[in-house]
């Protein structure tokens, strides 16, 4: 425990002038007859620091030991929780759903990861607080204000204070606390390390095939009705999905995301890349809606220029020029879907996209 006292405390009388005519620092001179200056007696005298009261841990080594064990227990629980986090990550399948009252049906993996990581961090925090409150020195020290520029002696004093603080924290003496704290702090970052596994594996050819097939009708995403050419007017952007996707299917969300399609009608004379006309119907062009940068939905259409913008990182594609990238980090044009009209007058796909949709940099040459 520190032997320092509040000798530098604001309660000392060293700033009080002995001569009552001597001015306090910052005290103004009276401005003239009848003007009132700073009163000779400070009506709000600094009461100084209260007398220091020892805690039970300061005077009873057994109580200090109990605190040490409590801190060590908290750090140990943190370590176990981190191990539990890693075990949960390995043990629970991503689609395992459990019923927890009152939350209802929740992902077992998310729940266990959240609980174990929360417990690990909480126990580190609680251990540190308990350590500070019961074992570290709690002597209050008041420091006078001083110029911002630090003198060499001040730097020496700061270093000395730091060493003193390290000594008073009892980090050297309380080996149990020290070892368990380092253990907890070493283990808890592992929670982040195991999550790196989610960066892989690569989806390989999963982005190469979508739900589009020859003869699949283009269904309006908003009305769920099959689209006809007249539904797509010049200057508008429409969104479509393939017919037959069942929202109760296990992979419905994956399939509908991969197949997301946008349709635009451009006057054939305004289409720069004439090769795309072979895959269009009367100037109606169909492109993947998934940005080739990192997969955000592209949707901000500028009808005068036929540019479409990705809101995530501003990649801009020219739909009149084969969805070529005009700007931004996207590396490839948006894949085009070949479409035509069936005998009933509805728009239909002529097959799947010719290229993988989305970023898919690992699949392209
Ligand atoms: S995801 Fe589209 S620009 Fe980044």
Residues 181 and 237 grouped into a single domain: no
| Model confidence pLDDT, tens digit, residues 285-319 | 999 999 999 999 998 999 899 999 999 999 999 99
Q: Is residue 187 part of a domain?
A: yes
Domain extent at residue 312: 205-349
| Model confidence pLDDT, tens digit, residues 186-238 | 999 988 888 888 887 777 777 888 999 999 999 999 899 999 999 999 988 99
Q: Is residue 247 part of a domain?
A: yes
Nearest CA owner, ligand 1 atom 3: 313
> Average of pLDDT values for 277-289?
93
User: Distance between CA atoms of 191 and 167, rounded to whole angstroms?
Assistant: 32
| Model confidence pLDDT, tens digit, residues 320-356 | 999 999 999 998 999 999 999 999 999 999 999 988 9
- Rounded to a whole number, what is the largest CA-CA distance in the chain? 110
Residues 277 and 310 grouped into a single domain: yes
Residues 123 and 220 grouped into a single domain: no
Q: How confident is the model at residue 2 (pLDDT cuts 50, 70, 90)?
A: very low
For residues 332 and 364, is the Cβ–Cβ distance under 8 A? yes
Residues 188 and 281 grouped into a single domain: no
CA distances, 119 to each of 66, 69, 116 (Å) = 22, 18, 5
Q: Is residue 81 part of a domain?
A: yes
What's the CATH number where 215 sits?
2.102.10.10
Q: Is residue 35 part of a domain?
A: no
For residues 218 and 227, is the Cβ–Cβ distance under 8 A? yes
Residues 178 and 227 grouped into a single domain: no
Residue indicated by tokens 């005068």:
304
Residues 192 and 240 grouped into a single domain: no
Q: Is residue 11 part of a domain?
A: no
Residues 229 and 308 grouped into a single domain: yes
Name every protein residue with a CB atom under 6 angstroms from any ligand 1 atom.
Answer: 291, 293-296, 310, 312-313, 315, 328-330
Residues 239 and 312 grouped into a single domain: yes
pLDDT at residue 275 tops 60: yes
Burial of 344 (C-beta count, 10 Å sphere; 0-12/13-18/19+): exposed
The alpha carbon of 325 and the centre of ligand 1 are apart by a number of angstroms equal to: 11
Residues 184 and 313 grouped into a single domain: no
Mean pLDDT of the chain: 85
Q: Which of 313, 325, 332 to mutate to test the pocket of ligand 1 (most atoms within 8 A of CB)?
A: 313
Residues 102 and 194 grouped into a single domain: yes
Q: Which of 288, 315, 325, 357 to mutate to test the pocket of ligand 1 (most atoms within 8 A of CB)?
A: 315
Nearest-CA neighbor of 301 among 319, 288, 325?
Answer: 319
Length of the chain: 365
Ligand 1: nearest atom to the Cα of 328: 3
- The total number of structural domains in the chain stands at 2
Q: Is residue 337 part of a domain?
A: yes
Helices (H), the chain: 56-59, 61-91, 108-134, 152-168, 175-187, 190-195, 252-258
Residues 192 and 285 grouped into a single domain: no
pLDDT at residue 99 tops 80: yes
User: Distance between CA atoms of 235 and 342, rounded to whole angstroms?
Assistant: 24
Q: Is residue 290 part of a domain?
A: yes
Burial of 51 (C-beta count, 10 Å sphere; 0-12/13-18/19+): exposed
pLDDT at residue 25 tops 60: no
Q: How confident is the model at residue 40 (pLDDT cuts 50, 70, 90)?
A: low
Last residue of a domain, one of 198, 216, 241: 198
Q: Is residue 146 part of a domain?
A: no
N-to-C CA span, the chain: 69
For residues 11 and 5, is the Cβ–Cβ distance under 8 A? no
For residues 337 and 212, is the Cβ–Cβ distance under 8 A? yes
For residues 91 and 109, is the Cβ–Cβ distance under 8 A? no
Residues 112 and 248 grouped into a single domain: no
């Amino acid at each position: 425990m520190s032997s320092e006292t509040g000798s530098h405390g604001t309660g000392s009388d060293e700033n009080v002038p002995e001569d009552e005519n001597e001015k306090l620092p910052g005290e103004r001179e009276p401005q003239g007859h009848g003007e009132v200056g700073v009163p000779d007696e400070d009506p709000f005298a600094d009461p100084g620091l209260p007398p220091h009261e020892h805690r039970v841990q300061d005077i009873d080594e057994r109580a200090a030991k109990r605190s040490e064990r409590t801190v060590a227990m908290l750090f140990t629980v943190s370590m176990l929780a981190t191990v539990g986090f890693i075990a949960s990550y390995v043990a629970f399948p991503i689609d395992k759903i459990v019923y927890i009252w009152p939350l209802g049906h929740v992902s077992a993996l998310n729940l266990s990861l959240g609980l174990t990581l929360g417990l690990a961090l909480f126990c580190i925090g609680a251990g540190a607080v308990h350590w500070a409150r019961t074992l570290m020195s709690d002597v209050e020290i008041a420091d006078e204000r001083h110029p911002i520029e630090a003198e060499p002696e001040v730097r020496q004093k700061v270093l000395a204070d730091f060493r003193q603080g390290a000594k008073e924290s009892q980090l050297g003496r309380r080996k149990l606390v020290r070892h368990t704290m380092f253990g907890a702090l070493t283990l808890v970052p592992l929670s982040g390390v195991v999550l790196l596994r989610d960066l892989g594996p690569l989806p390989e050819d999963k982005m190469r095939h979508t739900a589009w097939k020859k003869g699949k009708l283009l269904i309006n995403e908003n009305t769920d009705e099959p689209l006809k050419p007249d539904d797509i007017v010049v200057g508008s952007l429409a969104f479509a999905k393939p017919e037959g996707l069942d929202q109760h299917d296990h992979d419905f969300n994956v399939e509908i995301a991969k197949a997301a399609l946008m349709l635009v009608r451009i006057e054939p004379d305004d289409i720069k890349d004439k090769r795309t006309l072979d895959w269009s119907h009367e100037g109606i062009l169909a492109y993947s809606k998934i940005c080739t940068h990192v997969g955000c939905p592209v949707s901000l259409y500028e009808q005068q220029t036929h540019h479409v913008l990705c809101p995530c990182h501003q990649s801009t594609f020219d739909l009149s020029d084969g969805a070529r990238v005009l700007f931004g980090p996207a590396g490839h044009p948006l894949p085009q879907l070949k479409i035509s009209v069936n005998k009933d007058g509805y728009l239909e796909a002529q097959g799947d996209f010719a290229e993988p949709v989305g970023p898919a940099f690992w699949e392209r040459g």
